[in-house]
Amino acid sequence: MTSLTFVDGEWLEGNPGIMGPMSHGSWMASTVFDGARVFEDTAPDLDRHCDRLIASAHAMDLQPVVTASEVLELALEGVNRFPRGTALYVRPMFWAESGFVAPDPQSTRFCLTLHQSAMPEPAGLKVILSRYRRPLPESAPTDAKAACLYPVSGRALREAQARGCHNAVMLDALGNVAELATANIWLVKDGEVATPAPNGTFLNGITKQRVQALLRQQGHHVVERRVTFDELTRADEVFSTGNYGKVMPIVQVEDRDLQPGPVYTAARKLYWEWAHAHPLL
């Protein structure tokens, strides 16, 4: 068994059909989701991911049919159906089944998928500057983890892959750094640990918030502020935080090579220690 989905009251293996061509979620993109990780018998911040799913649903004018605590309970039940120690990606979703352009909130449906996914090795990411940008809140549902926001991330990733890299730095509409295509980004310069301040164009990541708090507790000077791409090319360290890989070093920004540094090393160590101290399983 590599994947398991809870939908309409039962657990199904594989990739069950949940939408048809008339489903609003498939042709009008009303789908919201969240992603959490289970690894090394821990499920860090799984409860916060469930809370954010509910917030995303409301932001998209959907009516959640389960509560955050019920999603958490189902997720833990699903985890226990896999062999102990299995690395998993946990993805609950809501979508509207009916509606014309605007979703019908009363038609909201829910599913929860868990699939095996090994944690990536922290070998180091190579990133480029993408020509694609994050949208403004007035032009896209940036206050939700909405599926409709991800095609542009996919284009940025393909752009990076075509150049032999792993990810892409995406700017906001004003030309400042927002995040990577799939994760938040950090830089270290002269002792300051900086990450772009949430400005409504990207999600303030749960893992980002956790790492920020852990670094501050250890005495690091951490700031959220405007960040330019030029700063990334001159930084002492660059690293990323995100649900999929948690804390990852960035070893190349365009043509400039870097090494994993002491702040990245501390951030990853602190996060792993915190995760094992708060397993949730």
pLDDT digits (tens, 9 = 90+) for 145-198: 999 999 999 999 999 999 999 999 999 999 999 999 999 999 999 999 999 999
Both 199 and 244 in one domain: the answer is yes
Confidence of residue 119 (pLDDT cuts 50, 70, 90): very high
Answer yes or no: are the C-beta atoms of 186 and 169 closer than 8 Å: no
C-alpha separations of 229 from 112, 136, 238 in Å: 37, 19, 11
Both 163 and 249 in one domain: the answer is yes
Both 178 and 79 in one domain: the answer is no
Q: Given 66, 85, 116, which residue is the final one in a domain?
A: 116
For residue 163, the enclosing domain spans 125-277
Both 46 and 181 in one domain: the answer is no
Task: Give, for 10, the enclosing helix (H) or strand (E).
Answer: strand 10-13
> Is the pTM higher than 0.95?
yes
Quote the number of domains for the chain. Answer: 2
Both 96 and 145 in one domain: the answer is no
Q: Residue 76 class from Cβ within 10 Å (0-12 exposed, 13-18 middle, 19+ buried)?
A: middle
Both 63 and 200 in one domain: the answer is no
Confidence of residue 1 (pLDDT cuts 50, 70, 90): confident
Question: To 10 degrees, what angle do helices 262-277 and 206-217 make?
Answer: 110
Answer yes or no: are the C-beta atoms of 266 and 215 closer than 8 Å: yes
Both 206 and 174 in one domain: the answer is yes
3-state secondary structure of 106: helix
Both 134 and 273 in one domain: the answer is yes
Half-sphere exposure of 97 (CA within 13 A, CB side): 10
Both 264 and 176 in one domain: the answer is yes
User: Which whole number is the average pLDDT over 111-127?
Assistant: 97
Both 224 and 256 in one domain: the answer is yes
Both 154 and 259 in one domain: the answer is yes
Half-sphere exposure of 197 (CA within 13 A, CB side): 5
